[in-house]
Structure 1
Amino acid sequence: MKNMGTQYRGRRFLSFWRDTRGSTAVEFGLVAIPFIFMTIGIIELALVFAAANMLEGGVAEASRLIRTGQLQQAGGDPEETFREALCGHALVLIDCDRIVIESIAIEDNTFGGISDIPPQYDEDGNLIPAGFELGAVSDVVLIRAAYRYEYMTPLFGEIFSNQPDRTYPMLATSVMRTEPYEFEDE
């Protein structure tokens, strides 16, 4: 009698072990969390790179206003006009109020003088702007725009960022010689 009960339990255990109903749900439950975590991480990193690309493109577009002399000859606040041109290009992923801009006319008027002007940062890692000089005709001008991208998901901000505020610092730079934009009327 005792042997029959043990045999029955053994068959019951074997039938439970061989039953594959629900195994897909269990496997999906084990794989779903890492898969979703990895997918969100890929999307977050894609947004970071897209924001960096927008900042670079915005600086390149807005720098053209200085290179062609449009900003030097326009009235009003040149830094605000530059910021509006930059923000018109970098509109979606970047908060324009948090962009720090500097424009420096190189004193020796050569591209070699740029290495003498490294960016200056405060103790929190924020760019300290050195002003907004437009330069004159045929001057070499260095333009920098700094932005700190805030990660949208808190967990990834802690993983991907080495900053205490879980941000990714971005710096876009443009260097050019202004064109001879002053023309004399004949």
Structure 2
Amino acid sequence: MQQVDDHQKPSADTAPPPRPWRRIWRARDGAAAIEFAILAIPYFLIVFAIIETFVAYTAEQLVANAVEKLSRDLRTGRITYGLNRTTDKNATQFRQAFCDEVSILIHCSGDDASSGLLYLDVRSFNSFADIPTTIPRQSSDPYADIDATAFRYAPGGAKTINMVRAYYRWQVITDLVRPYITNIRPADGSLPTDFLIVATSAFQNEDYP
């Protein structure tokens, strides 16, 4: 039988130590924390993007509902203009009525027209064909800022054709969402922040007394 020299047997004391990278590779301490740290940023960005998109489109629906509500009041004569009646509302009062309808998400008031966030365009026309179908822009760029110089508050009386259009600049916070839902881009190329909410209603007033 072949004998093995005891000096040739590797012992625990003489065996070469494992290499450091092998110890690191085999270690599992804190793996979950490291994985979470790697995935947390994109995960929360996606979550915030979903929430922000949901809130923005909820605000859009809120503005649309307010436009429909006030348009119905104009159409039926519950709101009038320049008729010397108790139902008359001027531009400030009409704006305040609109702000009351959207107050759950949007903060505005009748006397903050200069803030540049909310624009109301209420006008009468000779025919439905005369009602503008596009958003007035300051240039031909489809992402240019809106041109509010022609906006006014001048609804007509009974049986007139009218338009109520609301514009609101919704501020987008999450950077991940901005390039995809913002529809106003600064001319200087800076990061866009505004999601322009637009709601329109065109109608003919009833023949109210």
Aligned residue type for 1:32: A
- Cα pair distance change 1:105/1:19, threshold 3 Å: same
Given candidates 136, 157, 160, the residue that maps to 2:157 is: 136
* Deviation at residue 107 of structure 1 after TM alignment: 0.9
* Deviation at residue 114 of structure 1 after TM alignment: 2.6
Matched, 1:125 2:145: yes
Kindly report the root-mean-square deviation, in angstroms, between the aligned alpha carbons of the 2 structures.
2.8
Contact 1:65 / 1:82 at 8 angstroms: preserved in 2? no
- Cα pair distance change 1:150/1:20, threshold 3 Å: same
SS of 1:9's equivalent in the other structure is: coil
Give me the whole-angstrom Cα distance separating, in 1, the residues matched to 2:178 and 2:134. Answer: 28
* Deviation at residue 33 of structure 1 after TM alignment: 1.0
Quick check: which has more Rg, 1 or 2? 2
Contact 2:162 / 2:202 at 8 angstroms: preserved in 1? yes
Given candidates 40, 44, 51, the residue that maps to 1:43 is: 51
* Deviation at residue 133 of structure 1 after TM alignment: 2.1
Contact 1:101 / 1:144 at 8 angstroms: preserved in 2? yes
Which residue of the partner structure matches residue 74 of structure 1?
A: 86
* Deviation at residue 166 of structure 1 after TM alignment: 1.6
- Cα pair distance change 1:5/1:53, threshold 3 Å: farther
Give me the whole-angstrom Cα distance separating, in 1, the residues matched to 2:29 and 2:41. Answer: 21
- Cα pair distance change 1:67/1:9, threshold 3 Å: same
Give me the whole-angstrom Cα distance separating, in 1, the residues matched to 2:75 and 2:179. Answer: 40
What's the % identity of the aligned pairs?
23
SS of 2:154's equivalent in the other structure is: coil
Given candidates 122, 131, 134, the residue that maps to 1:114 is: 131
Compare the two structures and name the one with the higher helix fraction: 1
Q: Using structure 2 for the length normalisation, give the TM-score.
A: 0.71
Contact 2:78 / 2:87 at 8 angstroms: preserved in 1? no
Give me the whole-angstrom Cα distance separating, in 2, the residues matched to 1:92 and 1:127. Answer: 27
Q: Using structure 1 for the length normalisation, give the TM-score.
A: 0.79
Alignment length (residue pairs): 176
Contact 1:61 / 1:85 at 8 angstroms: preserved in 2? no
Runs of at least 5 residues in structure 2 that lack an aligned partner in the other structure? 1-9, 187-191
Matched, 1:175 2:202: yes
Contact 2:173 / 2:193 at 8 angstroms: preserved in 1? no
* Deviation at residue 142 of structure 1 after TM alignment: 1.0
Runs of at least 5 residues in structure 1 that lack an aligned partner in the other structure? none
